[in-house]
Amino acid sequence: MPSGYRPDRETDFAGFPSTTPIVIDNGASTFRIGWAGEAEPRVAFRNIVQRPRHRSSGETVTVVGDTDPALMKYFDCTRSAIRSPFDDDVVYQFEYMEYILDFGFDRLGATSEVGHPILMTECECNPSFSRARMSELLFETYGVPSIAFGIDDVFSYKYNQKLGNCGEDGLAISCEHGTCHVLPAGIDEMVSISLRRLMEDEAVKERLCQSILVTGGCSLIPGMIPRLESGIRQFRPYLSPLKLVRAADPLIDAWRGAAAFAASSKFGRHTFSLADYREHGENLFHRPKSSRRMGGATTILAFATGTAGESDGITADPKWEPEEAGSRQGEEQG
């Protein structure tokens, strides 16, 4: 993204019904926001905050995203550090996150309360406290009616699966801004268990290695795919099948997959409402010790437990008709 990039403010926010979800890909490098069912995010900017001082008055202002070179005439940007709300892939600094959400919703066209359901991406095994604070921020500050969270890697995998880039069962390798994740994805698979322990069956390993999708911005580095393939082959039997492919667009495929899922008819079943939050508070996000599922009541482990022949709401055509899709994972037992 070029330095000085300032996204224009959208003007059609009021034209969307209040039931239309807003989709946010909250990446550690780039923040993307748009509407469910659309092919591209409306607004994208770097997920950073800077607070320079006015050269003459000493007043402090907040700059979100890339610094506009024109500001250098009036503000001393050289003495203010660039801040990120993330530590690796987990949001810790919610003061900065609020600045970023303010700017994102403003660029999307919101004038007061947002008033739309939210689907936000997150990393694997996102801590419950981070998800709880994010939900509190969205509910209390922006007045959203309901929220759902989903894993960005699997949204990207399922989107590319519909494009024919990867198979039903495989691995998603996400080379992101500060971390790298490897996630098994497939049909009839308990992903929450696979995240902790991959089965030792050699046949399973062989099948997964035949469909490895590499996504994330760092996958665009020249030579990254051959280097990953060379490293993986060192741990595989000689001449065993191995296929690595780069995502169609590693930067925005996660948002596209999330936008398609948010437009499907089952999205509402994966959300939790403001009433749920007020009734249960932060307990809504904590997993009971007796549960084998992950992450509380809000994580969509993105389609991984569907059955064969069941639509997942992802298609390469932005004008598709949404069908029932997905499977809710991580809800509290009982």
The residue type of 145 is P
Beta carbons of 161 and 167 less than 8 angstroms apart:
yes
Looking at residue 198, what is its pLDDT?
52
d(CA 148, CA 309): 25
* pLDDT, mean of residues 271-284: 88
* pLDDT, mean of residues 164-189: 84
Position 254 pLDDT exceeds 80 = yes
* pLDDT, mean of residues 88-93: 92
Nearest to 137, CA basis, from 110, 118, 109, 155: 118
d(CA 208, CA 170): 4
Position 298 pLDDT exceeds 60 = no
Q: Where are the domains of the chain?
A: 1-48+84-334
Looking at residue 112, what is its pLDDT?
82
Looking at residue 316, what is its pLDDT?
37
* pLDDT, mean of residues 141-167: 94
CA 17 distance to own-chain centroid: 23
CATH superfamily, region 1-48+84-334:
ATPase, nucleotide binding domain (3.30.420.40)
* pLDDT, mean of residues 299-327: 37
d(CA 245, CA 149): 26
pLDDT digits (tens, 9 = 90+) for 25-57: 999 999 999 999 999 999 999 999 999 888 888
Looking at residue 196, what is its pLDDT?
55
Looking at residue 199, what is its pLDDT?
53
Most confident region among 69-73, 139-143, 181-185, 290-294 by mean pLDDT: 139-143
d(CA 261, CA 121): 12
* pLDDT, mean of residues 190-214: 71
